[in-house]
Structure formats: C-alpha cells, structure tokens
C-alpha cells in the first residue's frame, strides 16, 4: 500500500503557523514512507475565499520547502461537489441517513435545553427530500467507534453519545464533515495527520467512511499550538501568519526547525539541528500529547542562530530584499542611488552577529547611506548632557589630526580623550555614536566610523556640536 497523506487548508486568510507545522509533519511522514503528499484546497466557503489566499498558501509552502511540483495537486474541493452529493444520496438510499426539517428552535423546545443535541425525532417518520430538509446521518444506537491513532492510541467513543449529525443542508449542499470524507476517499488518503482540535469530529467521519463501504484511514492527531497563556493560537489575537514572519526576516530553515519542535524533539540535548536530521528522526508516535507552546521569543533566538551560521556572502544576499525594499517589504529610508554595496559588505559581518531577524538590518546600517543620520530624539536627550560639547570638541580635533583612519586608531584616540576627562570609553563614545548614527546602540562604533570615512564622520560630529550651542 502506498502511503498517501494530505494537507487541506482553506483559502480564507493568511497561512497559519499551526497549518505550516501540519504541512511539514505530513510532508516528512510521506517522504519517510516513500509515499505521496497531496495538497487539497478546501474552497467551498465561497463568501470568505479569495484567489490571493490560495496563492498565499502555495507561496508559503514554497518558502518552507514544500515546493510546487513536488506534491500532488493542488486539488480544489469545489471541483468534487458532484461526488459529495452522490455520497449523500447513497447514504440516504441505503438507510444510513434520513431527512429532518427541525429548526434549532424545534430541537431546543423538545429537549428543554440549548445545550442538548438532536434527539432523533425524524428517524422513523419517513420525511423525504425537500426545501429546508436537512439530511442527518443515522448514528448506530449501540456499540462504540474506536479510532486508531498513531499518537493517541485508540480513543473510543460510545455511539449513543454521538447525535444524528447533519451531513447535507436544507439546500442539498453537503457539510464539511461529509465533503472532507468523500475527498479523502476519492484521493485514496491512507493517513490523516492533523491537529487534535479535529479529534471530536473523527468518530463521525469514521462512521461515514464505514457507512460508505471504505476502510477508514489511520489517524494521527498532533497537539494543538497555544500561546503563552495556553490559549489556542488565534488569528484575531496572536501573531500567527507565516507570511508575517517571512516578511519580517525569519529564515525558512529556522522556521522549519522551530515548527517541528512543537510537540516533538530530536535525539540528544539539542534543538537546532540540520533539516536532514529532522527528516530522518521524526516519528509521529513520539509526538507529545500535551499542547505545544509557540514561543515567539524562542523562535527569534533560533532565527538569530541561523543568521549567524550563514556564510557572509549568503547573509549579504539574504539582506537584499530589505536593503532594496522589494516586494511587500517596506522601502528603506535611503534612495537607491545612495546605497553603497561595498560599504555594506564591509559592515555585514558586524551586523550579522547583532540582528535576530533580517528586517533589523536597515536600522543598523541606515547611517551609512543617508546624508545625515535619522536622529532618535530620545537618544539625543538622554546622551547629550553637560560636558558633551567639550567632549565632542576634543574628539573632533583628535580625529581630524589622525594620520590613519582605521578602527584601532579611532578607538585609542577616543580613549585618550575620555581619560583626560576621567571617563571610561563607554561614556566617552556615547555622544560620538549618537552624533554619527543617531542612536545609542548599533554596530561597533569604531569599525562603523572607519567605513563611514573621515569627512562624513567629522561633518556629523560638527553638526551635533552646533546643535549643542
């Protein structure tokens, strides 16, 4: 038997990081088993679907390494509508489903509670199809439905506790439960790997598989992804869009690595590992049962490690979209003609050790490419205290007299200026840094001044001195 897994997102918004994790888990499992990964777009929610969301799914999958052409599909659920309706008809004709015209209010009136499920009122009344007649599945009265789950063992659900659930609406359109089952059958899906939030629907879906005469797939319900308050990640509340992390400058490798650690860990006391190790070691049966905490701070730290591990040339290439402002990324504050590739290459190794996401490259190097620095006024107020004017005067004179404009000479010169005033280097260099870069933190100062050059450095220091008058 060829293993066939599927990833079936809905094109109703940005691509959720939890969905990305499910896609990766399905992808790896299929590769390990010599099987097939199927992409199905569940696009039947016409009111919320947009073509750009579908393209967003494909592009996000490309980014995390599930490239177009390497999987089967994408298929579209809407193209299978005829099969959905045919399956509903077969279930009705075989007696496994019946029609019901009860409204929600009718059910509540009979049960006396809005919390109790449907009571099977129309099971034996013989109501036929018609406008407003929903089709309900006839759940077995006795026995239990056992779900074979690679992660959770064999969850067992008593059939008497499963209400006769709707499989087609009053207008004849099948609901998600039935459409999902029929699609999986049509595509020959053998394993369904998805988040545990779908587990309550699984016995219903398994009953549908059995009623349609097809062996159910093997299930694997991975832990739900939660935020720091242990709440399920929400698009309304949390930062969950994979595209947002991509556009902020997270590396695909770091994101893949981190997502795979949500509920699972490689062997040994390690977390940052080559993708080949994850592909080799990942086992569905080793996935934890408890909820997986999506820790953005930890992801950020991961990304910083991945950035620092890049060869410098690759780091320079990776920064280009932010330096050029291409695509959906915001443009930098300088004009294209002001950018100096050689100057950036000179400071790139310094920047590489200090940023955690690629978008941070712009505020770290913008002082190199602007006629004057973007001044952080809070930094100016905090730094330019009594004595700053005198210190800048002395530093300007000392720098202007330097024969060699290099980082070591600049450092020793400024150290001497500070020593004459009883100041350590940290206190001495703060006004110089703000005058030249506009900020209190950034790349190593003296290496930055070396690249900026004598003339531009002294011009900025003199401008700051004038402002202090």
Edge-to-edge strand ranges of the sheet holding 36-41: 72-76, 36-41, 4-7, 191-195, 218-222
> What is the distance between the alpha carbons of residues 190 and 4, in angstroms, rounded to a whole number?
5
Tallying the residues shown for the chain, one arrives at 469
- Of 235, 239, 298, 424, the catalytic one is 235
What's the sign of the alpha-carbon dihedral 68, 69, 71, 76? positive
CB atoms within 10 A of CB 324: 13
218 three-class SS: strand
Candidates 178, 96, 175, 99; CA nearest to 135 is 99
Is residue 373 within 8 Å of 367, Cβ to Cβ? yes
Is 297 among the catalytic positions?
no
What's the sign of the alpha-carbon dihedral 389, 390, 394, 397? positive
For 438: left if phi > 0, alpha if psi spans -120 to 50, otherwise beta; the answer is: left
The owner of tokens 């695509």 is 327
Q: Which run of H or of E encompasses 30?
A: helix 17-32
> Which residues share a beta bridge with 225?
292
196 three-class SS: helix
Task: Please give the structure tokens belonging to residue 87.
Answer: 């399956």
Is residue 221 within 8 Å of 202, Cβ to Cβ? yes
> What is the distance between the alpha carbons of residues 296 and 287, in angstroms, rounded to a whole number?
21
The catalytic residues are 235
């Amino acid at each position: 038997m060829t293993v066939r897994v599927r990833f079936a997102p809905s094109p109703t918004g940005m691509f959720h990081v939890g969905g990305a994790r499910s896609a990766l888990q399905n992808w790896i499992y299929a590769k390990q088993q010599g099987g097939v990964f199927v992409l199905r777009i569940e696009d039947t929610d016409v009111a919320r679907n947009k073509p750009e969301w579908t393209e967003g799914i494909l592009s996000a999958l490309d980014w995390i390494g599930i490239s177009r052409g390497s999987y089967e599909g994408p298929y579209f659920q809407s193209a299978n509508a005829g099969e959905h309706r045919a399956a509903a008809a077969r279930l009705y004709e075989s007696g496994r489903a019946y029609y019901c015209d009860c409204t929600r209010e009718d059910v509540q009136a009979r049960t006396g509670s809005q919390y109790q499920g449907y009571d099977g009122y129309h099971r034996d009344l013989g109501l036929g199809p018609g406008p407003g007649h929903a089709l309900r599945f006839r759940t077995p009265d006795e026995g239990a439905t056992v779900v074979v789950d690679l992660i959770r063992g064999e969850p067992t659900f008593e059939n008497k506790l499963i209400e006769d659930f709707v499989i087609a609406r009053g207008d004849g359109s099948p609901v998600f439960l039935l459409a999902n089952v029929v699609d999986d059958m049509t595509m020959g899906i053998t394993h369904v790997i998805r988040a545990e939030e779908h587990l309550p629907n699984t016995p219903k879906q398994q009953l549908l598989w059995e009623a349609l005469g097809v062996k159910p797939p093997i299930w694997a319900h991975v832990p739900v992804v939660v935020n720091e308050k242990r709440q399920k990640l929400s698009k309304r509340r949390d930062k969950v869009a994979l595209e947002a992390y991509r556009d902020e400058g997270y590396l695909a490798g770091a994101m893949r690595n981190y997502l795979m650690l949500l509920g699972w860990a490689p062997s040994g006391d390690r977390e940052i590992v080559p993708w080949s190790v994850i592909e080799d070691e990942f086992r569905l049966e080793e996935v934890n049962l408890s909820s997986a905490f999506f820790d953005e701070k930890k992801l950020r730290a991961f990304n910083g490690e991945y950035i620092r591990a890049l060869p410098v040339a690759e780091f320079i290439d990776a920064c280009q979209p932010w330096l050029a402002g291409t695509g959906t990324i915001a443009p930098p504050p300088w004009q294209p003609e002001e950018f100096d590739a050689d100057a950036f290459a000179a400071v790139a190794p310094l920047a590489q050790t200090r940023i955690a996401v690629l978008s941070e490259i712009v505020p770290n190097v913008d002082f190199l490419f602007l006629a004057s620095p973007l001044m952080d006024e809070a930094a100016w107020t905090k730094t330019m205290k009594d004595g700053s004017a005198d210190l800048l005067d002395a530093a300007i004179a000392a720098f202007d007299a330097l024969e060699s404009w290099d980082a070591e000479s600049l450092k020793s010169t400024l150290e001497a200026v500070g020593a004459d005033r009883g100041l350590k280097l940290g206190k001495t260099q703060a006004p110089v840094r703000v005058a030249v870069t506009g900020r209190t933190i950034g790349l190593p100062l003296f290496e930055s001044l070396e690249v900026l050059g004598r003339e531009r450095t002294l011009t900025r220091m003199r401008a700051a001195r004038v402002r202090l008058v």
